[in-house]
Structure 1
């Protein structure tokens, strides 16, 4: 046994993560390994005295969350990792991941042990990857309109010219116009098939939840569209209350939902229109709306809008193709997040989509 204890102590002392043991009843730090100095920048011998100052450096947006997790942990109800941010005096952020467990003692005491790991580099990498992915999704939606729109115009113009020249006995001219029409149609279908395929893939992957500032992430998406406001001849706005709203979501999937809803709004909103996104935090849920000043959705088409291959599918104002799958996938992703989606619209009065996501995930 002494050899086993020595080996265990040797392993713990050489961990790169901070290992700690904390007495919940006495509110006292029993033990911390050598990694404390490298990861948290303190002095191991003074770790107990430094703990209050360390906790005071928690990011303001993470303090309530950390307190809630600590309460669950004290009751033995926390079974997942907790990620929080520390603010350094120079303004730098450090991401920490905590895995801990509760150990009831025979004398009625309660010990808390766990590992704290610096995941700043991994978070920064993931953040950059998500930024790129969000921009990619927004760009795909924008390009689908920028490219498909002119191709639709050329297709219509070629069809009109062919109709007006039917009386001419010029087979080569008719064949040339047919080729133009076919090329435009196939190119438009290819563009939209590619965008649809990207969206379809997202629903077949298991949710990867993480705590995300929804306002920041949606803001990045809206900024991508704002950069194209002049080309699209549409105005995009975002309103959020409060300024930071944290939810446990699969960021990639939910941002694709936003891109798809905004993409649909672009399809059915005439030039000079307005697309507005709002985020509001309520006690038990977060309410998200995507509203446009477009042509609206007739009442008779609304009941089946979220069905696969719904009869409500319509080509966009600029001739954009639709598979009828988009709304069905949106509904699936929202429900995977244990939320719900609905709409309000009248023909000629624009459309507003509502997404309600729970604060607590079952």
Structure 2
């Protein structure tokens, strides 16, 4: 926001003020010197004029004073000084060497002629033979009075003092003349000041106008507008500065465009990066964070910017910023929640200048949740396979050792041992077959042999096989009943018959294993807008809620001991999930402990009429 400058804060006022101060100082110095010199000259001229007049009077009176006839001298002197007049002359007195007044030009003082004077200036002039001058103010008129007492010296070479001439003059007219001249000078000074103000205003405007335009241009540049150009009025320093600002504006605009382009490029890179990026200042305060990092950390930009990276990464209790910088190893962070597991790996890089000064840190976050999960699954898979293979192998080894120790000779025990060995061998073969199937699915080498089949008939075929199985003599330990809940509409779906039969067999086997004696297994088939949903429900113990998300994991068993005793490999549901997903379908489970479990299979379905195949 531009701050408004008042006139008294402006350069115009300052330039005018400086000019006036300089002018007043100059006028004061010149005026003082001029008036002083003028006063001295006028007073000196006035006094010289009076001295000449007094000198002329002395030369006239000198012969008279030499004559001894005092009475006649007084009369003659009185006649001479009566005619003596001049500018400002108030009174002329002639006093002899005995201090007696011989004559005066003042008609009111004629009675004093012949009397002895008590004037100190006269006494001093007669005593020393020097001219005595003095100046004082008249108490009545308040005018300045100048008094000259000049001795009359004998002209015969004896230098005898014959008397003195005392001249009293009014010098006020001289000072009035000086005052008038001073007034004229002051008026001229005021006119000069007015002209100086006008001239300095023009000069200041000539200086400040380019400065104002340059200021406006720099403000526009600060606001991001580089389109303006400063007008160059002259080729002086201001003109050079104007050209420099225009050149700077062009270069800043180019630099700004380059910087903005780089910023957009950087933002684009940061936005589309699959890794999270956090940048801090030298104090570890976050200044940049990209969308991926905010997504990984489950934090908003407002919550991250201006906050310490240690606090955002939740390591402020274990690490200081210095300790973090000294740690050269990658760090792993756990941001898992109850719903979503999140594991991050962080790499830290210092932002250093050429001088070695550390100006910030860049942290790159990699989401290694899947890698960690895959690694854990790999370890668990190896552990489970080892365990699942070791169990039948250990059992087989025990029975084979017993046979080698002589049990083969017993006609009752030997067949039982061989039977168990055969069952364990079959179990390992099934497990290895399942593992091979999963391996082919994981690698994408499992190819579906798709064909349009009537799902109603396919599902009914599987159910009939299991009905025959539970009615056979070796399955009479528990009584089951299978209930069909099929739609009456015949549904045709493009599937791999063998694979889907394998999926349904796995789920039906589980339903039979875990159903109680006298339980009912419900098999459902319904049609939705774009899918066919198959369901198989049992009335068994159900699956705990905490295990529902894991039932399709490889080697996962809710009740491991019971499931292993029933001959399961722990891979059936995992294979079923892979097969259904290959068909672009979905499989899920719903269960309530103590009431039973329902598995659902949803397959893509596009309704059509049988006439379409004619």
TM-score, normalised to structure 1's length? 0.47
Higher helix share: 2
Higher strand share: 1
Greater CA radius of gyration, 1 or 2? 2
